[in-house]
Chain A
Amino acid sequence: MNTPESLSLDARTLSARQINDTLSTLQASISTIEIENCSAPDLLAAGFNVNCRVSMKGNLGDYCLCSISNAEMEVHGRAGCGLGESMESGSIVVHGDTGDATGAFNRGGFIAVYGNTGRRTATGMCGGDIVVKGSIGAQGAFAMTDGALLVFGAAGAMLGHRMTGGTIYIRGEVESITSHIEASRLRESDRLRIGLLLLKAGLTGDAKDFRVLKAVGS
Chain B
Amino acid sequence: MNEHKPLTHSAPTFAPKLDSIDASWNVAKTELGKKSFAIRNIAPNTLMASFHLKTPVLLRDDAICDALELNHLSNEVYVKLASCIHHVGGALLATVENLASVPLREMPVMIAPIGGHSMPSVESILSADAIELQLGDWSRSDTDSSVHTSLRSLRVDWPVDAPDLLRLAKKMELIRCLSNYRVPVGVAIPIGDISEAGLACWRWLSEIDIDFVTIRSPFCCLGSRHQARAYFDCDPIELTRLMKELLDRSGKKPIAIVIDHPWTDGFQAGHAILAGASLVGVGSFLASLMPSNFELPSTHSADSLASGLLGRSSIQSSSLATPSVAYFVKKLDLNSSLTLFTEQVQATLEYAL
Which of B118, B139, B170, B178 makes the CB contact (< 8 A) with A126?
Answer: B118
Which of B116, B117, B139, B177 makes the CB contact (< 8 A) with A47?
Answer: B177
Residue contact B139 to A142, C-beta cutoff 8 Å? yes
Per the bound structure, the CA–CA distance linking A17 and B177 in Å amounts to 8
- Asked if A105 CB lies within 8 Å of chain B CBs, one says yes
Chain B residues whose CB sits within 8 angstroms of the CB of A66 once the complex forms? 119, 174, 178
Which of A43, A49, A145 makes the CB contact (< 8 A) with B170?
Answer: A43
Chain B residues whose CB sits within 8 angstroms of the CB of A129 once the complex forms? none
| B167: nearest chain-A partner, CB-CB | A81
Chain A residues whose CB sits within 8 angstroms of the CB of B150 once the complex forms? none
Per the bound structure, the CA–CA distance linking A107 and B171 in Å amounts to 18
Chain B residues whose CB sits within 8 angstroms of the CB of A47 once the complex forms? 122, 177-178
A85 in contact with B119 given A63-B171, A142-B139, A162-B139 (CB within 8 Å): yes
Residue contact B119 to A86, C-beta cutoff 8 Å? yes
On chain A, the number of residues with a Cβ less than 8 Å from chain B's Cβ atoms is 26
Chain A residues whose CB sits within 8 angstroms of the CB of B115 once the complex forms? 126
Which of A17, A81, A124 makes the CB contact (< 8 A) with B116?
Answer: A124
A124 in contact with B170 given A43-B177, A47-B122 (CB within 8 Å): no
Per the bound structure, the CA–CA distance linking A162 and B170 in Å amounts to 26
Q: Mark B90-123, 1 if CB is under 8 A from A, else 0.
A: 0000000000000000000000000111110110
Residue contact B139 to A42, C-beta cutoff 8 Å? no
Chain A residues whose CB sits within 8 angstroms of the CB of B116 once the complex forms? 105, 124, 126, 145
- Asked if A88 CB lies within 8 Å of chain B CBs, one says yes
Residue contact A20 to B170, C-beta cutoff 8 Å? no
Residue contact A67 to B119, C-beta cutoff 8 Å? yes
What is the CB-to-nearest-CB distance from A200 to chain B, in angstroms, rounded to a whole number? 22
- Asked if B209 CB lies within 8 Å of chain A CBs, one says no
Chain B residues whose CB sits within 8 angstroms of the CB of A81 once the complex forms? 167, 170
What is the CB-to-nearest-CB distance from B44 to chain A, in angstroms, rounded to a whole number? 30
- Asked if B173 CB lies within 8 Å of chain A CBs, one says yes
Chain B residues whose CB sits within 8 angstroms of the CB of A63 once the complex forms? 170-171, 173-174
Per the bound structure, the CA–CA distance linking A67 and B139 in Å amounts to 20
Which of A20, A62, A88, A124 makes the CB contact (< 8 A) with B167?
Answer: A62
Per the bound structure, the CA–CA distance linking A41 and B78 in Å amounts to 47
Most buried by B among A24, A46, A49, A126: A46
Residue contact B178 to A46, C-beta cutoff 8 Å? yes
What is the CB-to-nearest-CB distance from B126 to chain A, in angstroms, rounded to a whole number? 9
Residue contact B119 to A42, C-beta cutoff 8 Å? no
Per the bound structure, the CA–CA distance linking A17 and B117 in Å amounts to 27
Chain A residues whose CB sits within 8 angstroms of the CB of B118 once the complex forms? 86, 105, 107, 124, 126
A88 in contact with B173 given A66-B178, A126-B116, A162-B139 (CB within 8 Å): no
27 pairs, CB–CB < 8 Å, chain A vs chain B: A20-B177, A24-B180, A42-B170, A42-B173, A43-B170, A43-B173, A43-B174, A47-B178, A49-B122, A62-B167, A62-B170, A63-B170, A63-B171, A66-B178, A67-B119, A67-B122, A69-B122, A81-B167, A82-B167, A82-B171, A86-B118, A105-B116, A107-B121, A124-B116, A124-B138, A126-B116, A142-B139
Which 5 A-B pairs have CB atoms at the shortest separation, nearest pair first?
A105-B118, A86-B119, A63-B174, A47-B178, A143-B139
